Structure 1
Amino acid sequence: MDANCRIFIIDDEEINTLQLEHVLQECGEVLSCNDSSKALSLIDTFRPDVIVLDIEMPKVNGFDILKELRQKHYFNDLRIVVITSHSDIEIEEKALSLGAIDFISKPLNLTLCRMRIENHVNFKHQENMLQIAQSSLQSEKEHLRITLDSIADGVISTDDNARINYMNPVAQRLTGWSLIAAKGKHIEEVMSLNDATTGSRSLNPLVMALQENRPVAMAINTQLTSRQGITHRVEDSAAPILNSSDEQCGAVMVFQDVSETMAMAVQMTYLSHHDQLTALPNRVLLHDRLTQAITRAAFSENKLSLMLLDLDKFKYINDALGHHVGDEIIAHVGHSLDKFACNDITVARVGGDEFALVVPHTSTLSNIEPLIEQVLNVIGTPFRIADEQHVLSASVGISVYPDDAKSVEEMLRHADSAMYKAKHEASNSYCYFNDELQLAMNERLRIGNLLRKALDENTLEVYFQPKKDLATNEIVGYESLVRLIDEEGKCVSPLQFIDYAEETGLIYRLGAQVLEKSCIVAKKWLDAGCPKQVAVNISAKQFSDSSLVELVASTLEKTKLPSRYLELEITESALIDCYEQTVTQLKSISKMGISIALDDFGTGYSSLSYLRLFPLNVLKIDQSFVRDMLTDSQALDIVSTIVELAKTLNLKIVAEGIETTEQKQKLQSLGCKIGQGYLLGRPTPFEKNHKQ
C-alpha cells in the first residue's frame, strides 16, 4: 500500500468509523470525522486522496458535502466512495452525478470494504505516478524546447518522409521560413542547398540520412539560400531518429551559419600571406610562389630569376626621420615596385627594407637586364614625404634557376649572398651569384661555425700590441686584439670574422669574452709588478646594448682589476649610431675611472662637437694618415692638425700603424709622443709579452 495515500472517513456512527479505521490502517494515512458539519473544513486541511462518505447523516448529509466539494479546485483529484443503506437506484444516480465513483452498502462487510478502498488507493497511486511522469515529461520537453530555441545552431526535425515537424528560431531565420509555414513541407523545399563555387544543387544530408539510415555530414563549401534570396555558408550534419524498436521514425538536421567564420578565415589567410604595410606578398607567400615558379620552369625548361633588393643606407634615414616616416617610405617603395607585378612576376616584401621579385623568363638572361635597370630607376626616382624630397638607391642580388640553384632555399640564400656583395661594391648596383660567391659563402659559413665553436668553448685568443713612448721606446700600454684560430692552427683575420659577428649578433658574446680575457692579463701584469694599461676595442653594436656599462663594471669586479688599467677604444661610427645612449654610457664608464680613446680619428664623421660632448681621454691617429704623411701633404696636414688639437684639448695622442723609422721621427717632430705599429712591436700572445 501507499503509505502516503490519505483516506478520510465521514460517518456519524462512531462504530463505523472505528471499524473502517482499523481495516484501512495499512492502506495509508487514515482520518475520520463523525460530525458532518466539520467535514468540509477538515477536508480543506487534510487534503485526502480517497473519501469514504456516508450519505445519511444529521446536520449535513452526504449529498450536501458532495455538492460543496464540487466547488473545490481539487475536486477532480478526489476519489469518493459513498456508504449507504439504501439500494434505491435514484440515490446511486444522484451520488454518481455529484461525483461519487463507488458504493459500499450497509451493513458493512469490512473485508469487502477494505478490498474496495485498496483498489481506489491503488488507482489513486497510479494516477499520482502518472501525473508526476507527465509533469516530468512536460518539464523535460519544455527544457528541450528552450535549449533548442536558445542554441546558436539551426535545428530542423522531420518525419520519416523528410517532412518538417519542428524548426528552432535559428533555422527559421536562416531559411526564411516560419515553423507554421514550413510544417509538413519537404525539407528540400524549405532548405535550398547548393555548391558555393559552382552553384549546382546539393542533396540535403537529411534526405541522405533517411535513405541510408546513418549520420551524414554536410558537403564542404555548401551554401544555403533563404526564402528571401539571402545566402549563408553553412556546415554540419543530419542523422536519423529511431524509435524504441530501432525503427526509423524521422530525422534531425543540425547546421550553423559559418559565413563570418569563412570570411574571417579568408581574411586571416590573406593577412598571413601579405605584408600589412605594403599589401605585397610576404616571405611565406614568396616561398610558395617560388616553389610554383620553379615547378613551371622545370617543366618548360626555362629559367627563373630571383631578385633580392635592399635599400641603401635606409637605417640612417629611419633613425634620422623616425620610424613613421620610414614606414611611409617603405610603403612608397612597395607601391612603386608593385607596378612590375604582372606577366607572372611576383613582387614581395621580404622584411625590413628588403624586397624580392620572382621573374620567369626564357633560356637566356637577356630580358632580365632591362628589368633590373627599370627597377633601380623606379627606386631612384625622387619623391616627397613629410614635405621632404627623398632619393633612394638600392642593391640587388640575383640568383638564377637552374644555373646556380635547384631549390627555393638555395635561390633565397644565393640571392642574399649576391645582394650582400652588391651592397659592398657601390650604391645602385646589382650582382649575380657565381662560383666565386659560392666559395665566399662557404668560407663565410666555415668562419661562422669556427667562431661559434670558439665562443662556446671560450677558446678565442687575445694578442697584445704594445704602445710605446716614441722617445724612450718604453712600453706604456697595450691594445688587445682578438684572434680566431682555425683547425690547422692558423690565425683567421679579424676582417673575416668581426663583420660576421656584428651581422649575426655574436659580437656581444665576442666582446664580453675579449674584455674579460684582456682584464685577466692586465691583472697578471699588475700582480707581477709591471702594471700596464690595456686598451680594448668596443664595437658600435655593443653600444646599442644598454647593459654595456654593467658588463664593464662586473668584469672589473670579477677580475679584480683597478679601473685605471683599462681603456676602451671606440670608433666615430659608434658615437653616431646611438648618440644619446652612447653619451650616457660613456659618462658612466668615465666615472668609473676608465680611460676612453677615440679610434681611427679623422676617418669617419669627425666633428669638434664630439670632442667637446664626449668624455674622451685619447685620440688615435688612423694608420692611413701615418702611412701617407711622408708622401701626401694633405695627410701630413691632417696629422699635424690632430696633434695640435689634442694638445689644445689636453688629450693624449697615439699614432697607429708606424712601420718605418722615418714615420716615427716625423711623428716625434710633430709632437706625437706615443705610437704603435709593426716597427715598435707586433701583436703577440700574453706569454711572449710577459717575457719581454
Structure 2
Amino acid sequence: MDNCSVFIIDDEGITTLQLEHALEGVGDITTSTNSYEAVALLEKVKPDILILDLEMPKVSGFDILETIQKKPSLANIRTIVITSHSAPAIEERALSLGAIDFISKPLNLILCRIRIENHIKIIIQEKALLQAQTELFTEKEHLRITLDSIADAVISTDINANIEYMNPVAQRLTGWSETAAKGRHIKEVMQLADATTKVSSINPLVVALNENRPVAMALNTQLTSKQGIIHRVEDSAAPILDKNKNQCGAVMVFQDVSETFAMSLQMTYLSHHDQLTALPNRVLLHDRITQSIARASYKKTKVTLMLLDLDKFKFINDALGHHIGDEIIAHIGHSLDRFACNDVTVARVGGDEFALVIPHSANSLSLEPLVNEVLNVISKPFRSGGEQHILTASLGISVYPDDASSVEEMLRHADSAMYKAKNEPANSYFYFSDELQIEMNRRLEVGNILRKALEENDLELHYQPKYDLNNDSLIGVESLVRLKDGQGGFISPVHFIEYAEEAGLIFRLGEQVLEKSCIAAKKWLDKGLPIKVAVNVSAKQFTDTKLVGTVAEILERTQLPSRYLELEVTESALIESFEYTVSQLKLISEMGVSIALDDFGTGYSSLSYLRLFPLDVLKIDQSFVRDMNDDVQALNIVTTIIDLACTLNLQIVAEGIETKGQQDRLRALGCQMGQGYLLSKPLNCGKFEELIMSSKVEQVTCS
C-alpha cells in the first residue's frame, strides 16, 4: 500500500493511542489531543485522512470542520469523524460540514482499520487517476504544440469525416479557422481538384474511412482556399482506430508543394532546353523524334530530321570572341524558331548545330522549298558586335521510314548527310542515301584500320625525292604516310587523314610519322647519305600545345641533327590561330628545323602575313605547275611565286612535275628544286635506299 498520511485529533489520549496502534502500518500517523493547536497542525501536515473527534470541549470537532471548509488549502482532506452519538441530526451536520464517514464509540479497532484502509485505497486510486490525467494532459499539450509547429498541415475528423481539429498550417492553406471549420465535413473545407483538368477530386480522407486503409493523395492535386488562393498539395490520409481496431475518426496530413513543383518544372525545363536559345536541347529532341516516329508508325506517315551546322563558325568565334559567337547562336536560334509550329520541333543540338523535326504525310510534296527557306533565313545579313555577318550552313536530311527505323539511325544518318554537305559549297544540303551508307561504312572501316595501325605502330612511310633542277642531284625527300588496307594495297591519305582529324587521332598519327621519318633520316645519315626529310604537319596539330616539345623530344630520341628535318605546313594552318602559330613556328625554327609553306598560292593568307612567319621554303602547288604551259594565268602565278621567293630569300620547290616541258620551264624561270612523277614516284623505304645509294646527293647546308 502506498504511503498516506493520517492525522488523529481527540482530546482523550487513550483514544489516540488505541487508534495509533490499530492503524500501524497503514501510513504516516500524526496525533494531537489539543484541539486549539489542531488547525495549525493541519495546515502544516496536510494529511490525506483526518480522524476527528466531534465531542471535544472548547474547540469541538464541528468547529474544526467549519474551519477546514473555509481554507482552500485543506479542501482535499478526507475527514472521518468519531462520535458516540447516533442521532441523525449529528450525522447530517457532520456530513454537511464535509465529513465522509463515521467511527462509533466505543471503538471497534478492527472495523476502524478496515475503514481507514478502504479510504486509503480510494485516495491512492484518486492520486493515480490525477497522475494519469496530468500525464495525459502533458502528452496532449506536447502533441498539440508539435502539430501546431510542424510544417505540414494536419486535419483530424470524426468517423463521419466532420472536422475536429486543424493545425495552423491547415488553417492557412484552407483559409478556414479551426473554430469555423469544426463540425463541418472535410469536403466543404478542403476544395480539391485536378490541377490540369480542374475537375473536383475526392478527398483521400473520405476514401480512407470508406476503405479503412491509408490513402495517398492523387498526383497533380490542387487545393483552393476559402479566399480562392490555389496551392499544389500532396500527401495522405489514414483512419484512426481505437484499441479494438474500430474506426473512431481519421487524420489528413498534407503539404504545400507549390514552390517545389514550380522548381521541379523549372529544373525540368532547364534540363530539356538550351539556355542560350531557349530551344529544345538534345535530350528533348530525342524525345520529340521518338514521339514523332511512334505517331508516324501508327498513321503510316513520315518524319524528316534536318541537321544543320553553321559554316566556319569556329573561325568567327575565335576571331571575334565567344560573346559575339553566343549572340550569333542566339540570333540563329531565334530565326529558326519561326518554323516551330504544327508539330515541327526546332532544337539546338549543341555548339553551332541545330535540328528540325518535321512530321508529314507519306505522299507529301518535296521538302526542298522548306530546306531552301531554312537556309535563306540563316543567310539573311544581321549585325552583331558592330559588324555585319552573313552566315551559311550545311544541312543533312534523314527520313523515317525511308532510310531509318529508329531515333539513333535518324540522327546518325542526318549527321552523315550533313558531313557530306560540309564538303560541298556553302548552303549545300544532302539527303541520306545508300551511297552515303556505303561511304559511312567505309569511313568506319578506315577508322578501325587506322586505330589498329596506330596501336601497333604499323603505319608505312613512302618517300618522294626532291631534286635540284639545275644539276639533277638529290637534295631531299618528302615523307608520305601510307595506311595498308589489309589486302595488299593502301588506303588513300585523303580518306584516313580526314578521319584522323575528325576523330582526334591526327596527333598520334603525326607523332608516329615524325618519329619514323627521323629514324629513317638518321639511318641514312649513319650510312653517309645526308638527306633532309620533310614531314607534313596538319592545321590540327598546331592546336596541340605539346607540338614543340614533341618535335624536340623526337629529335633528341632519334639523335637526328635538326638541320636534316623540315616541317611542311599549309596556309590554313598558319592563319587558323595566327599569333599562337607564329610563336610555335619560331620555337621550332630556333631549334634549327626548317619550315616549308606547302601548296602556296591555293590559300587565302595575305602577303603581309608571309613575312611574319619564320619560313625557309615555298612550295608551288602542283595545280599551277600542271597548267602553266597551257594557261597564261597559271604561268603568271608560278612566275610571281618564284620572284616572291627570291625577294624573300626563300628556297622554292615546285610540286607535281610530270613532263619534261614543265621541268624545262621551271628551270628557265629560276625554280631551284622540284618533285613529281617525272623525277620519281614516292618509293617505299627499301627502294628509296636503293635510289639514294646510286644517286648524287647534295650536302645539306644550313639556310
What range describes the TM-score normalised by the shorter chain of this pair?
0.7 to 0.9
CA 1:158/1:80 → structure 2, altered by over 3 Å: closer, same or farther? closer
Q: Alignment partner of 1:585: what SS?
A: helix
Structure 1 match to 2:173: 174
CA 1:668/1:109 → structure 2, altered by over 3 Å: closer, same or farther? farther
CA 1:685/1:62 → structure 2, altered by over 3 Å: closer, same or farther? farther
Q: How does 1:180-579 map to 2 (within 5 A)?
A: 180-363=179-362, 366-471=365-470, 473-525=472-524, 530=529, 532-559=531-558, 561=560, 563-579=562-578
Q: Is the 8 A contact 2:79 2:98 kept in 1?
A: no
CA 1:438/1:68 → structure 2, altered by over 3 Å: closer, same or farther? same
TM-score w.r.t. the length of structure 1 is 0.82
Q: Is the 8 A contact 1:277 1:331 kept in 2?
A: yes
CA 1:252/1:303 → structure 2, altered by over 3 Å: closer, same or farther? closer
Amino acid at match of 1:232: H
> Can you list the C-alpha shifts for 1:160-189, whole angstroms capped at 9, x where unaligned?
111101111221112111111001111111
Deviation at 1:429, TM superposition (A): 3.0
> Can you list the C-alpha shifts for 1:386-439, whole angstroms capped at 9, x where unaligned?
443333333333334444334433333333333333332222333333333232
Q: Is the 8 A contact 1:49 1:79 kept in 2?
A: yes
CA 1:6/1:423 → structure 2, altered by over 3 Å: closer, same or farther? same
> Can you list the C-alpha shifts for 1:285-326, whole angstroms capped at 9, x where unaligned?
433443444444455555543333333333333333333233
Identity level (%): 67
Deviation at 1:30, TM superposition (A): 9.6
Deviation at 1:673, TM superposition (A): 3.6
Give the superposed CA RMSD: 4.5
Greater displacement, 429-438 / 287-296: 287-296
Structure 2 match to 1:628: 627
Count of residue pairs brought into register by the alignment: 688
**Cα distance in structure 2, aligned partners of 1:166 and 1:607:** 86
Greater displacement, 88-97 / 451-460: 88-97
Deviation at 1:603, TM superposition (A): 1.9
**Cα distance in structure 2, aligned partners of 1:522 and 1:670:** 31
Q: Is the 8 A contact 2:467 2:673 kept in 1?
A: yes
Q: Does 1:158 align with 2:149?
A: no
Amino acid at match of 1:599: D
> Can you list the C-alpha shifts for 1:465-493, whole angstroms capped at 9, x where unaligned?
33444455554444332222123132101
Deviation at 1:667, TM superposition (A): 3.9
Deviation at 1:255, TM superposition (A): 1.8
Q: Is the 8 A contact 2:5 2:29 kept in 1?
A: yes
**Cα distance in structure 1, aligned partners of 2:587 and 2:227:** 76
Q: Does 1:638 align with 2:640?
A: no
> Can you list the C-alpha shifts for 1:426-460, whole angstroms capped at 9, x where unaligned?
22333333333232222222222222333344333
Greater displacement, 424-433 / 210-219: 424-433
CA 1:37/1:512 → structure 2, altered by over 3 Å: closer, same or farther? farther
Amino acid at match of 1:275: D
**Cα distance in structure 1, aligned partners of 2:632 and 2:80:** 143
**Cα distance in structure 2, aligned partners of 1:614 and 1:364:** 59
Deviation at 1:213, TM superposition (A): 0.9
Deviation at 1:543, TM superposition (A): 1.9
Q: Is the 8 A contact 1:81 1:104 kept in 2?
A: no
Q: Is the 8 A contact 2:236 2:252 kept in 1?
A: yes
Gaps of 5+ in 1: none
Structure 2 match to 1:659: 658
CA 1:342/1:51 → structure 2, altered by over 3 Å: closer, same or farther? closer
Deviation at 1:135, TM superposition (A): 4.2
Greater displacement, 159-168 / 233-242: 233-242
Amino acid at match of 1:335: H
**Cα distance in structure 1, aligned partners of 2:592 and 2:28:** 105
Q: Is the 8 A contact 1:83 1:106 kept in 2?
A: no
TM-score w.r.t. the length of structure 2 is 0.81
Q: Alignment partner of 1:535: what SS?
A: strand
**Cα distance in structure 2, aligned partners of 1:554 and 1:37:** 120
Structure 2 match to 1:586: 585
> Can you list the C-alpha shifts for 1:595-638, whole angstroms capped at 9, x where unaligned?
33322222212333333333333333323233333444443443
Q: Is the 8 A contact 1:309 1:397 kept in 2?
A: yes
**Cα distance in structure 1, aligned partners of 2:589 and 2:14:** 121
Q: Alignment partner of 2:611: what SS?
A: helix
Amino acid at match of 1:626: V
